[in-house]
Amino acid sequence: MYFVANWKMFGNLKSINTLDKVIKFSKSKEIKKGRLIYCPPYTLLTSFFKKFENCLIDIGAQNCHENDNYGPHTGFINSRMLKSIGANYVIIGHSENRKKGETDKLINLKIKNAIKAKLKVIFCIGETLTEKKKGKTRLVLAKQIRLGLDKIKKRSNIFIAYEPVWSIGTGHIPKPKELEQIVKFIKKKFKGKSPKILYGGSVSPQNISDLKKINSLDGFLIGGASQNPKKFIDIVKKTYN
């Protein structure tokens, strides 16, 4: 199981000390088969990479520029640059960025170039509350998958993170049955081997016992709770107990 910590626009050099507990946990037997990946803001990627030098915790970025080459793009960072500083993952298509205008086409380009740079992609999809109420969840997800992965044949380095927009940061999660059916629906969109599927949206030590019942999930993308080492560790522990 994969446990991806999305720190969003939080954290500074001081927050690195909070990682000691997680590093210790990652070296213990309690981690079982859990794989931990931290996606801090760009400013902390190198510090996290150094901090995790002697353990198996991986790092990833929260977004990237769509160009695969260096160029005059003030304020941006591309996948090659991320790979060169030790990142192995990148989150692409997060709803917080879609909301700001990231289109499926742009997301598709980002994914293509991230794969070219040999990064693993955590490709976020999810419906808004309005879309859900209108019964359009499957339609939205199918479109996001179709356009986001257009002309991408090599999909072995892609993880799909199903993150209902109405669940992010709200404390609300889908009903287990509903979530199970959606995961099944996503898997069916792929001929042959389906990518690994993560669930994201208000995952916490309180609701992980329900979420872990969905056997078809390969892990979780965790926002708010991942900034608290105790909560993050608890989520992993409870997944296996």
Catalytic residue annotation: 94, 163
Return the number of the residue (60 or 201) whose C-beta is nearest ligand PEP.
201
Least distance between ligand PEP and beta carbon 4 (Å): 8
Least distance between ligand PEP and beta carbon 163 (Å): 6
Query: Residue number with the shortest CB distance to ligand PEP?
Result: 223
Q: What's the number of CA atoms in the CB half-sphere (13 Å) around residue 108? A: 14
Q: What is the DSSP string of 199-211?
A: EESS--TTTHHHH
Return the number of the residue (114 or 221) whose C-beta is nearest ligand PEP.
221
Do 200 and 220 meet the contact criterion of CB atoms below 8 Å apart?
Answer: yes
Return the number of the residue (3 or 52) whose C-beta is nearest ligand PEP.
3
Which pair of structure tokens corresponds to residue 112? Answer: 């293509």
Provide the binding-site residues for ligand PEP, judged by CB under 6 A: 6, 163, 168-169, 200-203, 221-225
- Say what the alpha-carbon torsion angle 68, 69, 73, 75 is, to the nearest 10 degrees: 70
SS3 77: coil
Least distance between ligand PEP and beta carbon 14 (Å): 21
